[in-house]
Structure 1
Amino acid sequence: MNEVAPSRTGDLQVINASFETLTGPTQLFAFGLVGADNTPVIGADVEVWTRTREGEPAVGPVPAQFREIPNQPLGLYVVRLDLPVAGAIPLAAVTSDGAAGQTALRVADPETATVPAAGDTAPVVATPTTEDLLGFERLCTLYPPCGMHKNSFDSLIADGRPVMLSIATPGFCETAICGPTVEVVESVRTARGDDDRVAWVHLEVFVDGGVTLAEQVTDWNLPSEPWLFGVGADGTVVGRLDGPLTVLPEEIMALAEQLV
């Protein structure tokens, strides 16, 4: 910290809500900032530094872009980082007025990632639809329900359709970061208006009132939520977003564009 902010004017808490970031160039990472008085830091000029190997100089600065969270009095900072190695990678965020904070990224190789990554074969699971709840007590905990329950994921893949698969539970998520996920994904879907080219599916995390994990979520090996996967017509994962990235319309739109 002293290396990148030797004269820091205050301490920040860097909120890393992503479960797993992948190795590679220009990897997307989103984070929140909270000041010493526990107040969110909104709209600041922020630069990010990382150290990929012990003993090497910090890499940076890389400017972060502030993004508002739709329908929330909060926001996130988004940055693209070159992450050549896996492991716990230290990250420092420094504002233009000298306040600074740090966290550690959990960085994994795509080949050994916990959650399916680009190039992996997507786990093909049946998802509840308006015609068949598959034992789920509620089709969708968003109110009003989203429009992403017309077709089951497995049938869409069998038909050779590219799919944007959202796995999230608006009704049982308690944070401002993951709660709006389905609402934001739904807004991108309706804005695109291309359901004939890209299918959109939402899968709830629990089969009941927030207690019993759905088998489909277990099949995807998800240790957290929310997640959004872009799956190609051949059933291969094209890309993924998790945690705070799932409430950023530009990133959701970009992932959908990769499927067409």
Structure 2
Amino acid sequence: MLHRRHLLHATAAGLATALLGCESGTTVDGPTVATASESTPATRATPASALLEEVAPDRSSELTVINASFETLTGDDQLFAFGLVGPDNTPVTGAEVSVWTGSPEGGQVRGPVRASFREVPNQPLGLYVVTLELPEPGTIPMAAVTTDGAGGETVLRVADPETAIVLPPGAPAPVVATPTPDDLLGFERLCTLDPPCGMHEVSLDEALQAGEPVMLTIATPGFCETAICGPTVEVVEGIRASRPADSPIRWVHVEVFSDAGATVADPVTAWQLQSEPWIFGVGSDGQITGRLDGPLTILEDEIAALADQIA
């Protein structure tokens, strides 16, 4: 069963817990998010375990780096989002941050690459996003250092597309029915957003069988209510509403649970998901074009760009 993962953030009243996603099994790391990077980062050899010591030996304080998604793929221009928390459990927001990555067994260090800070809408929260070059699969160390010398390290779980847990770009989209107003397919609620979103007009299987491009959102507003996770469907709905009226894209939303948060829905199982929320772009050929997960509320540009790819 999906379980919840938490990230500490500061609010006006003090610390609050913001839910980044819901996943099953052990906590893992992740995602894919965009930002500007410096041109041609330098490389040098160093053991993976010594990455932070190598890039910031005189750091002023230790930071906790919190991964914001489930799985990252190998390749160039891979997006990754993360949070930073200081020694006093206070979130580090709005800082200038540089990022380095290593390799599974020690090898080339890539960096620095500049991360950018993105605020969570209507909240005193935010995450950093960065574009990374990740040529090797495995457990990849990543170090983040601010301009005032504070630093922290995490590890990314990086997978080849061929061995990815979640369906990667290029894979055929599972053709599965999703609920519509005319057929709830056993779901207690069509949509837990209040009022319901407009992305239930067509079942996913019908759209795919008709050769229509699809933007599929798998998320549950009613059972993932924090500032980072909860508004996902509203954000996607806003992007959908901004598209031209004659857009060929079918926008489909499916809830994670078929009941009051206890039973994972069949479409979620069919798509082999172990976390939420996710967005997949599927082309008219039925193949997945791209995927985004985790802090989708700060990824409006990336969601819109994915829609442009499949239109």
TM-score by length of 2: 0.80
Match of 1:71 among 110, 122, 132: 122
2:120 and 2:297 in contact (8 A); partners too: no
Structure 2 stretches lacking a partner, 5+ long: 1-51
- Aligned partner of 1:243 in structure 2 is 294
**Residue identity in the other structure for 1:95:** T
Letter in 1 for 2:190: L
1:146 aligns to 2:165 (yes or no): no
CA contact (8 A) 2:229 2:296 kept: no
Q: 2:142 aligns with which of 91, 103, 119?
A: 91
Number of residue pairs matched by the alignment: 260
Residues 141 and 170 in structure 1, CA contact (< 8 A), matched pair in contact too: yes
Q: Tell me by how many angstroms 1:116 deviates.
A: 0.8
Kindly indicate whether the alpha-carbon contact (under 8 Å) linking 2:180 and 2:202 is maintained by their aligned counterparts in 1.
yes
Superposed CA deviations along residues 38-67 of structure 1, whole A, max 9, x for unmatched, are 222111101101002433242110000111
Residue of structure 2 equivalent to 1:135: 186
Q: What's the counterpart of residue 151 of structure 2?
A: 100
Calculate percent identity across the aligned residue pairs.
68
For residue 61 of structure 1, what is the amino acid of its counterpart?
A: P
Letter in 2 for 1:201: V
C-alpha distance in 1, partners of 2:123/2:139? 30
The one-letter code matched in structure 2 to 1:168 is: A
* Distance in 1, Cα, partners of 2:209 & 2:297: 26
Seen in structure 2, the aligned counterparts of structure 1 residues 31 and 195 have a Cα distance that, compared at 3 Å, is farther
In 2, the alpha carbon distance for the partners of 1:8 and 1:232 equals 46
Aligned mate of 1:18, from 69, 93, 109: 69
Between stretches 135-144 and 161-170, larger displacement belongs to 135-144
Say if 2:263 is the partner of 1:212: yes
TM-score (norm 1): 0.96
Residue in 2 that maps onto 1:54: 105
Aligned 8 A contact 2:208 2:284 in 1: yes
Q: How far, CA to CA, are the matches of 1:221 and 1:20 in structure 2?
A: 13
C-alpha RMSD over aligned residues: 1.4
Q: Distance in 2 between the 1:57 and 1:225 partners?
A: 33
Equivalent in the alignment of 2:212: 161
SS across alignment from 2:114: strand
Query: Cα 1:194–1:46, aligned 2, differ >3 Å: closer, same or farther?
Result: farther
Matched AA of 1:210: G
**Letter of the 2:182 counterpart:** E
Q: CA deviation at 1:177?
A: 2.4
Letter in 2 for 1:32: G
Query: 1:245 deviation in Å?
Result: 4.1
Does residue 1:2 correspond to 2:53, yes or no? yes
- Aligned partner of residue 258 in structure 1, secondary structure: helix
2:240 aligned with 1:189, yes or no? yes
SS at match of 2:230: coil
Query: How far is 1:182 from its partner?
Result: 1.0
